[in-house]
Amino acid sequence: MNGENLKQQRIGVIGAGVMGCALIKGMLAAGLLKQENLWAVVATATSQKRIGDELGIPVYRALPHDEIALTDTFLICTKPYRVLGVLAELKQSRALKPGALVVSIAAGTTIQQIEQALPDVPVIRAMPNTPSLIRAGVTVLAAGSHARDEHTAVAQDIFQSVGKVWQLDERHLDAVTAVSGSGPAYIYLILEALADGAVKVGLPRDIAFQLVSQTMLGAAMMVQDTGKHPATLKDEVTTPAGCTISALLTMEDGRIRSTLARAVEEATRTAAGLGNK
C-alpha cells in the first residue's frame, strides 16, 4: 500500500460508529491522511464528544454544508436504513464538488439505489468487516457505472489501510456480506464452542481461548501460505485410529458442514433485503 491516492483527499465519514471509526483510525494510523483532512457525522451528542475527543477531528451532528463543498470522498457508514436519507440530504445540499466520490459500506444497499439518489456521481460499494478495527480486515469493492480507475484507487487506499482488499462485480456483494462481513461472528461462535469443549475436559477458560484462537490463526495461515486445499491439510493431521478422526466424525454426525454452508446461504438472503428496510 502506498496511499498516494489519499494524499490530496478530503474525506467526510457519515456515520462514525464501529466501522466508520475503524476506517478513520486505520487511515490515520497508516499516515495516509492528516486529521485536518477528515471530518465525521454522528447522530448523538455522546458520540460527538467521545469521537471528537478520541480522534481529534471535527465531528458534526448534521451534514456540514461548508464541508460538503470541500470534500472529495464521502464514506457512508450509517446503518443501511439511513443511507437513502443521507444521500437525499447530500443531493439537497447542492454543494457536492464535481467528481466527488461516494463510497458506501452499507449492507444490502445497491449501487443502483445510490446512483438513483445521486445521478452522475461516482459510486463505490464496499463490504469490510470488523477486524478492520485492528487493521486485519477484509474488504470487497464493487464499482458503480460512473466510477473510474482513480476512484477505485482511492477506495483501495482507504480499505487497504485496515486490511486486505479485493474487487468483484456487485452481484457478489450479498454473498460477500454473508461470508466475510458477518463471518467474524461465525468464527467467534466456533471459537467459543471449542473453548467450551476444552473447559469440559479440564482446561482453564482463559488458556482455552488462547489455545483455540491461536490454533485458528495458525490453521488460517496454513491455508493461505501453503495454498493447499483445506481437505488436504485436514487429512495431513488425521492419523489412522487417532483422536482427530474421532473428533471429525463427531462433528460430521452433527452435520457441521451443511449447517455452516446453509448459514452462509441464509445470511446471503437476509443481506439482499437489508437495503429495503
Which residues contact ligand NAP (rule: CB under 6 A)? Answer: 14-20, 41-44, 47, 77-80, 82, 86, 105-107, 127-130, 181
* Least Cβ distance, residue 2 to ligand NAP (angstroms): 25
With CA atoms as reference, report the closest residue to 188 among 224, 213, 205.
213
Beta carbons within 8 Å of 119's beta carbon, 6+ residues apart: none
Beta carbons within 8 Å of 258's beta carbon, 6+ residues apart: none
Tell me the Cα Rg of the chain. 21
* Least Cβ distance, residue 38 to ligand NAP (angstroms): 15
* Least Cβ distance, residue 101 to ligand NAP (angstroms): 17
Report the residue number, 44 or 239, with the smaller CB distance to ligand NAP.
44
* Least Cβ distance, residue 117 to ligand NAP (angstroms): 14
In angstroms, the first-to-last Cα distance of the chain is: 36
Report the residue number, 122 or 137, with the smaller CB distance to ligand NAP.
137
Report the residue number, 18 or 189, with the smaller CB distance to ligand NAP.
18
Report the residue number, 64 or 128, with the smaller CB distance to ligand NAP.
128
Helix (H) or strand (E) holding 101: strand 101-104
Closest residue by beta carbon to ligand NAP: 17
β-strand partners of 123: 102
Cell triple for 79? 446503518
